[in-house]
Amino acid sequence: MAHGSVPGPPIPSITLLIVLLMVLKAHAGGYETCPKVHPDMLNVHLVAHTHNDVGWLKTVDQYFYEVSLPLFPGSVRNILDSVVRALLVNPTRRFTYVEMAFFSRWWKLQNKRMQKIVQDLVHQGRLEFANGGWVMNDEATTHYGAIVDQMTLGLNFLENTFGKDGRPHVAWHIDPFGHSREQASLFAQMGFDGIFLGRVDYQDKNIRKRMHQMEQVWRGSVSLPPPTADLFTCILPNVYEPPRGFCWDVLCSDPTMVEENGTSVYIADLVVVQFLRIAADQASHYRTRNIIMTMGSDFHFGEAERWFKNLDKLIQLVNAQQAKGSRVHALYSTPACYLQELNKANLTWSLKEDDFFPYADGPHEFWTGYFSSRPALKRYERLSYNFLQVCNQLEALAGHAANAGPFGSGNSGPLSRCQLGRSGYGRSIVAGLVLRRGTMAAPPLCSPSSQVLLSNALARLSGAKHKLTFCHGLNVSVCPLSQGAAHFQVLVYNPLGRHVNWMVRLPVSKGHFVVLDPNGQTVQSEVVKYPGVDCVKHPPELLFRASAPPLGFHSYSVTKAPAKKPQTGSTRSSPQESQSSVLIIENEHTRVVFDNHTGILKEIENRDQKLLLRVQQTFFWYNASRNSGAYVFAPEQLNPLPISFSPEIHLVKTALVQEVHQKFSEWCSQVVRLYPGQRYLELEWTVGPIPLDEFGKEIISRFDTELKTRGLFYTDSNGREILQRRRDYRPTWNLKRTEPVAGNYYPVNSRIYITDGNMQLTVLTDRSQGGSSLKDGSLELMVHRRLNSDDQKGLDEPLMETGPNEQGLCVRGKHLVLLDRTQMAAAGHRLLAEKVVLAPQVVFYTNEDSLGRSGGIPRRKFSALHQELPPAVRLLTLAQWGPRKLLLRLEHQFAVGEGNLSSPVTLDLRDLFSTFTITHLQETTLAANQPRDRVSRLQWTLKTGPVLHALNFSLDSAAVTLQPMEIRTFLASIKWKRSPRAWDAALRAGAPSSQGWVNCCLSILLLLL
């Protein structure tokens, strides 16, 4: 792409540039390259930067290349070209860049000479990276596993490209709409010295300015010993914009300080006076002789020389005032250099232990709607995360055979880069490119090569070359293979470190089916036909209970037998007045009662713990106001309106499932479900297309109980630790209530619960949603939104998602409900949340699609672990890192004080895995970009007193200990277990027995009688 239209100085010859850079290269990258300040003056650190959203109003490709929209005429490629040229003109200039999704793409387009120039700029500290993740992820709707993955991807690109020179010292989260405590904890464990925030609540910020608490230490965990999760936190004065009157980008209209095109626009004297006034005002709210001013904004520096010329002039004229008695010194700087000066001040700092949710930038502008916006895309993000972990694991377990196998070249990289950019609140055209089908069904996953990888890996591990079929529409009962084939195989892969049982539900054609387990034994199964109470047509479904070993698979054979009428169970079409008929579904653990008059959920009983709770659950909708939009939640009234208190109901009872189907309206329905052995209640809701009215509707599922909750409820932080919430309250400042509903909504990534100290009602979600408890004993979750208005927050369009018929979007999801004694509840919701996020991956194949065997007898069951992991331990990451090297993350998934499972756990990793042996371990930071024993973070003194914690970096693969909420990251050198005898023995162990196939034939014969 030509760049002749971009103004700027002529580029010096490459020889001159290299000589200049060699003269300037006196220091290595890092704090030692920071500019000198004047200790006796007010130092104004001018941070030139650009914020480049990785998909928002435009797609990633449109932003990177020259595809114009009225608001953003430039491209990221042009921005980076322009910045590098401008940096070379003046050696005092500095620039900060953040998003590696764009920078890595730009880097690959540069020739070797330009790459060397950029490496030298980084080495000198003149081009500095902050944050360094693949994207600047949202903090409200993201799962911690995805955050860790995307930061690992970006930071290791920097490490591999620039070494320690490119290693960021600070996190730079200037644009997320509120900030989670878990995000701070993760950043601290990645080795960052501090974090810079742009958006905090307007009331909070005003109080902080008065109290001189714009900078403090943020404690990201109550379980990890300080300062492990402590992170110094700076709140920027202008979000991330320049001060008013100092925006000199081509996108701005402020008058410049330099002559342009021969026309004098010289206003320097007025600008200097204004700058000194702004600097003095800002300094009055901060505590040191250093303040920071951001110079840049969204997609700025497309004409970098224009920006830098004005900043050059500003610095020159401001510093010239020192001769007249001014005590202000302006300088080019970076976030890390500013942070270093704060650390040198040797002050004591206040401590924050909660989070920054919810965020509002005005009395009636709470950014709590986006917690639930685009629910289909939010679900797709979780499915993509699941599939990425499965691909990473199988690539690690199968080795090179996964990347180059019988089905071609496989690679999980494109999937990771695709999945990690999900925000959930960009424009509909951007979301549409991700969620092309626009229906409740999950779309095709990002990369076909990742599906090839999975096929290759399973061929290696199973010993059979089967072409796999992926049915992404199972959640809407669509799978062409299972609906059309008379005989097929179902492979269930379990990405967890523990054995799982899973009810498989497959859409099929009419008839009856025989299911055999990996040993050839008949599995109980049945075909069930469901009443149509929602927006989706339901074919008959085959149900059977599958199991899968830890980090392994079981293959099940499904054969169609002669037609037999599908089971429907007993059915009721509507609530009945008769008192003799009681509507109940139950199993050995749980009993659920519905109101006989209304058909609404009435009562849940935990039989194991002898608990009984009256619970009413139904759906309501908030009437949106003109202020509601994709970001903002602003209901017209405080009380939501019920969709129906008397749904049409159908009861289905079979040996494998008991269900109550509730139809609240033509666009809202639910299935309340219990399987045998299940310790939780499953609520599968279907909402949409939402009918339109003046401004739109915002749909909630609400649970009302008699629990005395004293205004308290609890939500997770990015799927990990739990935070206590209190209605109409903020832990660190006095809230002036302006929005009683929206101001009490919080992000729910995986669970929300209420408790009276004895009983606890927990609801787990399958995607991020907004939730609250607006009255004692009640909790609610927002499941869908459809709005006619735009909230004027930049998106410039209403939230009007459409389905395939161009009508409103129909969305399906699940809530899982647990009733426990409070002191026992953590074991239930933590282990269940793990199963939701890492649910088994189900794939299909037929014998006709086989390319043959890899040798030996095909294996129908496999486990990569010799023994299960303890319940408290989760295998967070198992991924290929290089030849004979793997990335391994183990985490303790319980917090301090959550019962017996909160105790430390010790593992022996030496012979844990079945396909390889770990020969050496190197422990690293959380993002795996530096050895843990070499990390030296800046130390901060708290007003509460010094923090003393001796870190122990001793490592023994025979005894790896995990403390509560601890994540330990390792680079593991491995030796493959390639003994043919061992593989053949394993294959024989997994082969089906002949007796099992005899049982299959007998079963079919019985059906024919």
The answer to whether 704 is a known catalytic residue is no
Structural contact between residues 943 and 349, judged by C-beta atoms closer than 8 angstroms: yes
Structural contact between residues 523 and 516, judged by C-beta atoms closer than 8 angstroms: yes
Task: Kindly state the tokens that stand for 961.
Answer: 């200990």
The half-sphere exposure of 371 on its side-chain side, counting CA atoms within 13 A, is 35
Structural contact between residues 114 and 37, judged by C-beta atoms closer than 8 angstroms: no
Helix 112-123 crosses helix 144-162 at what angle (to 10 degrees)?
110
C-alpha span between 478 and 843 (Å, rounded):
13
**Distance linking the first and last C-alpha atoms of the chain:** 73
C-alpha span between 968 and 960 (Å, rounded):
9
C-alpha span between 924 and 718 (Å, rounded):
22
- Backbone torsions φ then ψ of 119, nearest 5 degrees: -60, -40
Structural contact between residues 222 and 294, judged by C-beta atoms closer than 8 angstroms: no
Q: For residues 952-969, b (16+ Cβ closer than 10 Å) or e, as one string?
A: eeeeebeebebbbbbbbb
Neighbours of 175 (CB within 10 A): 18
Query: What is the phi-psi region of residue 739: left when phi exceeds 0, alpha when psi lies from -120 to 50, beta otherwise?
Result: beta
Exactly one of 149, 165, 175, 298 is catalytic; which is it?
Answer: 175
Which residue, among 173, 209, 170, 174, has the nearest Cα to 190 in the 3D structure?
170
Distance of CA 490 to the CA centre of its chain: 29
Write the DSSP string, 80-127: HHHHHHHHHH-TT--EEE--HHHHHHHHHTS-HHHHHHHHHHHHTTSE
C-alpha span between 298 and 285 (Å, rounded):
26
Structural contact between residues 617 and 668, judged by C-beta atoms closer than 8 angstroms: no
Which residue, among 803, 585, 621, 610, has the nearest Cα to 697 in the 3D structure?
621
Element (H, E) at 641: strand 641-642
Q: What residues contact 370, with CB distance under 8 A and at least 6 apart?
A: 140, 141, 177, 424, 425, 630, 631
Which residue, among 198, 303, 178, 202, has the nearest Cα to 242 in the 3D structure?
198
C-alpha span between 179 and 716 (Å, rounded):
13
Beta-bridge mates of residue 49: 96
Handedness of CA 14, 18, 23, 24 (dihedral sign): positive
C-alpha span between 437 and 804 (Å, rounded):
7
Residues designated as active site: 175
